[in-house]
Amino acid sequence: MKNLVVLTGAGMSAESGIQTFRDADGLWEGYDVMEVASPQGWYKNRELVLDFYNQRRKQLFAVKPNKAHLLLAQLQGKFHIDIITQNVDDLHERSGSKNVLHLHGELLKVRSTTNENLIYSWTGDLKTGDKCETGSQLRPHIVWFGEAVPMLDKAIELTKKADILVVIGTSMQVYPAASLIHYIKDNIPIYFIDPKPSINQNNFSNITIYAEKASDGVEKLVQNLNNELMC
């Protein structure tokens, strides 16, 4: 089976009702990113940060995977699929995708502020006073701006093995995630699905762009891949 590597961003979950970050109605319109998604923000106003992620976690229980998540999960069995997601939701997993690597952390996990290896599942609100087993305050398990991306090496390793790369719903503005595309083998097919695609044929010769919502784009992708499998 060919290795299909999928890099997803906030646009993947938009049709599930989760706001993106940088669109006109995106989350960063209503919040200062450095206030809620940086270590500086955490030290300045912990309650604001906790509240921000508590709201996001709560919302997760009110949304469902969309058609694009489900179609991707159904491709398993025809391809070996690795999903590298910048999203902190669990919608890929809930749609049945097995190999999901979260580059920017997970909403349903928290971790110790003094030992990044002490990670716990968490479904409710996180509050001041919630502590790890060694007595330190817990924080959201999110990679904030200015922090290292612990899963990056694994993501690079997967990207290098891709026979086909699919990129869905990302503005490609946040590094190092956006740099992953440069690790692919020469001339493998790339599919880019986004209503406002941020890269074009000038950037990559072997790229197919579906300038559409994730559900429509992934439907076309699946048709295309199925046709190739039949050839």
Using the contact rule CB under 6 A, the part of the chain among 39-47, 49-57, 193-201, 202-210 near ligand OAD is 193-201
Beta carbon of residue 70, minimum distance to ligand OAD (angstroms, whole number): 14
Q: What share of the chain is helix, strand, coil (3-state, %, to 5)?
A: 35, 20, 45
Return the SS3 of 145.
coil
* Residue 202 token pair: 């000038």
Whichever of 9 and 65 has its CB closer to ligand OAD, that residue is 9
DSSP letter for 147, please.
Answer: S
Q: Between 80 and 220, name the residue whose CB sits nearer to ligand OAD.
A: 220
* Binding of residue 159 to ligand OAD (CB under 6 A): no
User: Quick check: 65 and 8 in contact, CB under 8 A?
Assistant: no
- Our answer to whether residue 69 is catalytic in this structure is no
Q: Would strands 80-85 and 207-210 be described as parallel, antiparallel, or unpaired?
A: unpaired
Q: Which two structure tokens, joined as six digits, stand for 190?
A: 């790339």
**Residue from 4, 6, 7, 15 binding ligand OAD (CB under 6 A):** 15
Q: What residues between 36 and 75 interact with ligand OAD by CB under 6 A?
A: 37
Write the CB contacts of 182 (distance below 8 Å, at least 6 apart in sequence). Answer: none
Minimum CB distance to ligand OAD smaller for 19 or for 163: 19
Which tokens go with 41? 């923000």
Residues that bind ligand OAD (CB under 6 A): 9-11, 14-15, 20-23, 26, 37, 86, 104, 142-143, 169-171, 173-174, 194-196, 198, 213-214
Active site residues: 104
